[in-house]
Structure 1
Amino acid sequence: MTRIFFVSFFLLLSTLNLHAEEGMWIPLLLEQKNQTDMQTMGLKLTAADIYSVNQSSLKDAIVLFGGGCTGEVVSDQGLILTNHHCGFGQIQARSTIEHDYLTDGFWAMNQSEELPNPGLTVSFLVSMSDVTSEVLQGVTPQMSMNERYKKIRSNTSVIKRKATEGNHYEAQIRPFYYGNEYYLMIYEIFTDIRLVGAPPSNIGKFGGDTDNWIWPRHTGDFSIFRIYAGTDNKPAPYSKDNIPFKPRRHLSISLKGIQPGDFTFVYGFPGRTEEYLPAQGVDLAVNIVNPIRIALREIRLGIINSYSEKNDTIRLRYAAKHAGIANGWKKWIGESRGIKRIKGVEIKKEFETRFANWTGVDEV
């Protein structure tokens, strides 16, 4: 799944009472929409310290790992920290019966022992911009959905081509807020990514599916990779002659930890939000779609388990697929239970009624 770039903030504020504020915000708009409130809450950075095109900023130390995970650059030699479950597929791919890195873990003692991972990418956001007017140029209310789609696709192709002329970057345009806004993201994408270390699964996946999506967690959920580049520090295909990438910015790891009430935010690639799904959509998800998803995945997990328990080769071959299926299975179970517990559909309906009354429209 292609991930949309957001800044995801979980703000922990301290006064006499601990207060949490949650949301997903676009890094490009932080100065305009969020900086003042965040600094009032305790942030000591400016919006430009977090996202900037003209100077090194926090965005230059945060990467899209693979197709759907977040990673952090933690050294000036291209070292990346990400989750164990994010590196799970690569750890599995390098595992054999003789060298079962999933079970036993893996640690490269020097750079020559680091393991390449064909097909794995790490992407840096170079810049993003609002291209709504360009994407929707020539689109009219009278168009059919098919005509609208074709016009938008044509416009986005032109925009992306112009954005990448004469450089080595890649461009993506993604709809936000159900197509009401469109943003252009420019990425620098590296393809020589090597496994440096990962704990055994009894640490990296401690608690298994039982603990997944449950908090507090007690899992050593991390793995370590390194970005390699050509001698010009630009993306290059795998080669023994490549050298560790030198990032514009890397994070230092604090050993002090945090104290209750410290301002905290998470900067990454969380994908998407369904916060604006209407009550009917939530009801459909909880009572129709999720039960089908869960039932199908229970069947698939049962089949994989029945064979994996008898054969280590099959266990290794299907480990990542099993983990991915189980992740969705557990998520949808918890999602449905949580929405039912708080009466989420009823809350949505009540909000929509109030919104309709406010707008003077009979239905929303």
Structure 2
Amino acid sequence: MKKQIIALTFISTLLFSGFARADEGMWLPFLLGRNYEDMKKHGLNLTQEEIYSINNSSLKDAIVSFGGFCTAEVISKKGLLLTNHHCGYDAIADASSEEENHLDNGFWAKSYEEEIAIPGLTATFVISIADVTEQIAANLTDEMSEEERAIKIREISAELTKEAVGESNYKAFVRDFFEGNEFYLFVTETYEDVRLAGTPPESIGKFGHDSDNWMYPRHTGDFAMFRIYSGTDNKPAPYSEDNQPYNPKHSLPVSIKGYEKGDFAMVFGFPGSTDRYLSSFGVEQAVNIEQPKRVEIRRKKLDIMKKYMNESTEVRLNYASKHAQVANYWKYFIGQSEQLKNNKVADKKRKLEARFNEFAAENPEYADIMETIQKAYAFTDNQVYADVYQSEFIYSVDLNLNVFRFVLLENYIEQGMGERAYGSFKERMMSFYETANLDLEFETLEAVLKMYYNDIPAEMMPELIKNAGDKGKLSKLVKKAKKKSIFSSKAKFEKFDELVEKSEEFPMETLKKDPLFQLIESIYIEYNKLTENEEYVKVMNDLERANRLFVKGYREMDKDKTFYPNANSTLRLTYGSILPYSPEEGKEYDIYTTLEEGLKKEDPNNPEFHVSPKLKELFANKDFGRYANDKGEMVVNFISNNDITGGNSGSPVLNADGHLIGTAFDGNWEAMSGDIFFEKDIQRTISCDIRYVLFIVEKYGEAHNLIEEMEIVE
């Protein structure tokens, strides 16, 4: 469930109805007092201080934001990290070559010296969280416009973060919650020397690939291990051979006791985003307009990538992570659209909205809120495709994104930041050339450009593209760009860079004459006209205010409910139980799956279901060590009713004593509408059992050194 962070181009709005249950809710750990008694009733054996503490070691000190897009957990006193294979996929692919193909063959460092440095990969801990709503709200008034309000919030937030970090190496930020009704201050510490310590081969770590993604029963060993390194003072430091394994404030004991149906389970991590404030109008727009188009565009991009990846191992390694990211959300949008319909989510939203309207009729402050939201979505319906293509074509095609950065360069030059910006953009461009297949990139550009021409209303389309399309010359437009653009090869770009070095002033006119620059710039200009339109800006500001007032009113309307905010990549804890579920009448899925079941899926003719000979041999010999369950089975995956989403990938699943029993990696197909409406009866978290992790590390990888440094509870 690599739900990488995608900026949806409309603002999420309404909260679902129904009361919060133990399995529902992404709770901020510093506010666990609101849930603690309920957690104890469900089996928790820890104190609040053992879960979250500023002054003492606690569970939160073992939880890491892994690269800013996933979660990892510290599992030894030597800074060893456990996360998902798919979270480390890009790092593993980058560390691989045709000669040393760690993606296909796996990798196990038998010493610190063998661990592989991953440039740019970070591990961030949360030091503290504080409620600063009062400080910020005291400076806001109802008379402020949304723009004035945002400026004031940024101003006060800057003061608060500066005061919070002082002279330390910490960083701080303020995030808004409940659609801008509350504000919390986070202080963090980031380590930037993170190294690959071990990974199973893709045939284990990604067993089932796209076919099994979001599905249960599942049989995927979705894990990888990394290690945090620090300076000699145990503080963050840039990569150095002199750095030492990090000594954490807390590391998670690893339990191989197993679990039973109904046992307490909690997940600690950094969920990326949920849209449980989305209105019925937003649901309808997503299902009928936005998501089908995203699916169509991503399918086209995937087909082109796959064609080139099948022709070359080098291309496959270079594009493996990109393909996985695109494929993950391609299937996500298919599943979410299907389940939003199947689970009748729009109808559930409408019931809440009707109840809110009754409340608003007696509370003038909230009058016309729902009408404002409805009008906003009606206004933006015909602009959704423009938003989708800006995301899927400009931001999500690597060649286009790199050129787009140069489109922004003129603004940076006018601000006196041109030299710095150009240096950064050049560095990214050169990095792109190191792994890019330009035939693939230009074929993708042409294919999606033709879709853009067919989908975008004529009045929103650049004349350059409209004229070429009307004359059937879009292919020629791309062919010209591929032949003449300074971005079409490393050599041509280096020649342009030489011109920049020789020129007293930046040669902006050379850029503006470039055919690929002109193409990307024309789309950007038209999109800007759309989003900077006075009426559009007013509608979006009205919607933002309506969202905030709705949540404020909803919390007043249901005073007895314990509310939790949408996920926004901040540290959260969810709790629930290990439970089976019934996707349909007459069928029930058990709480765990086994290696025996997984091996039955083997298909030598399908790379998604390859099984390594060594794994089959270990199974045949029942060589499971101490990691089999009481029945002698090798458990692979299990399910619980914890509330998670993208960003939670790699999160630890903990038992009632705070011991690690698995790592979360996916959700189930039947509840893929859950990011918008939590389906309490069928929503499940799919996790990799820690016993399978240890079995693969010890028996398959023979990395006994990694096993020895963990605290294993038998």
- Fold match (TM-score > 0.5): yes
State whether residues 136 and 155 of structure 1, in contact with CA within 8 Å, keep that contact through their aligned partners in structure 2: no
Amino acid across the alignment from 1:157: A
More helix by share: 2
Q: What aligned pairs does 1:76-87 form with structure 2 within 5 A after superposition?
A: 76-87=77-88
Gaps of 5+ in 1: 4-18
Per-residue deviation, 1:214: 1.3
1:28 equivalent in structure 2: 30
Q: Distance in 1 between matches of 2:248 and 2:171?
A: 18
Gaps of 5+ in 2: 7-20, 371-714
1:10 equivalent in structure 2: none
1:155 equivalent in structure 2: 156
Is 1:224–2:212 an aligned residue pair? no
* Paired residue secondary structure (1:338): helix
Per-residue deviation, 1:141: 1.6
Higher Rg: 2
Q: Distance in 1 between matches of 2:359 and 2:39?
A: 30
1:324 equivalent in structure 2: 325
Of all paired residues, the percent bearing the same amino acid is 49
Is 1:344–2:345 an aligned residue pair? yes
2:247 equivalent in structure 1: 246
* Paired residue secondary structure (1:129): strand
* Paired residue secondary structure (1:24): coil
State whether residues 2 and 67 of structure 1, in contact with CA within 8 Å, keep that contact through their aligned partners in structure 2: no
1:271 equivalent in structure 2: 272
Q: Distance in 2 between matches of 1:251 and 1:281?
A: 41
Q: Distance in 2 between matches of 1:349 and 1:273?
A: 19
Which aligned runs of 4 or more in structure 1 are off by greater than 6 angstroms? none
Q: Distance in 1 between matches of 2:5 and 2:127?
A: 17
State whether residues 230 and 244 of structure 2, in contact with CA within 8 Å, keep that contact through their aligned partners in structure 1: yes
* Paired residue secondary structure (2:336): helix
1:284 equivalent in structure 2: 285
Q: What aligned pairs does 1:177-216 form with structure 2 within 5 A after superposition?
A: 177-216=178-217
* Paired residue secondary structure (2:154): helix
Taking structure 1 as the reference length, what is the TM-score of the superposition?
0.92
- State the Cα deviation string for residues 267-296 of structure 1 (Å, max 9, x = none): 111122211211111221222111121111
Structure 1 window deviating more from structure 2 (243-252 vs 141-150): it is: 141-150
Q: Distance in 1 between matches of 2:38 and 2:211?
A: 38
Q: What aligned pairs does 1:43-58 form with structure 2 within 5 A after superposition?
A: 43-58=44-59
2:126 equivalent in structure 1: 125
State whether residues 170 and 186 of structure 1, in contact with CA within 8 Å, keep that contact through their aligned partners in structure 2: yes
Per-residue deviation, 1:189: 0.5
1:164 equivalent in structure 2: 165
1:94 equivalent in structure 2: 95
Amino acid across the alignment from 1:22: E
Per-residue deviation, 1:2: 7.5
Per-residue deviation, 1:23: 1.3
Structure 1 window deviating more from structure 2 (224-233 vs 172-181): it is: 172-181
State whether residues 194 and 227 of structure 1, in contact with CA within 8 Å, keep that contact through their aligned partners in structure 2: yes
- State the Cα deviation string for residues 86-136 of structure 1 (Å, max 9, x = none): 000100111111111111111111110000011000001100001122233
Per-residue deviation, 1:357: 2.2
2:76 equivalent in structure 1: 75
* Paired residue secondary structure (1:156): helix
Q: Distance in 2 between matches of 1:174 and 1:95?
A: 37
State whether residues 79 and 225 of structure 1, in contact with CA within 8 Å, keep that contact through their aligned partners in structure 2: yes
Q: Distance in 2 between matches of 1:23 and 1:258?
A: 23
Q: What aligned pairs does 1:5-24 form with structure 2 within 5 A after superposition?
A: 21-24=23-26
Q: Distance in 2 between matches of 1:272 and 1:48?
A: 27
* Paired residue secondary structure (1:146): helix
* Paired residue secondary structure (1:23): coil
Taking structure 2 as the reference length, what is the TM-score of the superposition?
0.48
Q: What aligned pairs does 1:31-42 form with structure 2 within 5 A after superposition?
A: 31=33, 33-42=34-43
* Paired residue secondary structure (2:176): strand
1:15 equivalent in structure 2: none
Amino acid across the alignment from 2:288: N
Q: Distance in 1 between matches of 2:301 and 2:22?
A: 38
Is 1:312–2:313 an aligned residue pair? yes
Q: Distance in 2 between matches of 1:73 and 1:173?
A: 26
State whether residues 116 and 195 of structure 1, in contact with CA within 8 Å, keep that contact through their aligned partners in structure 2: yes
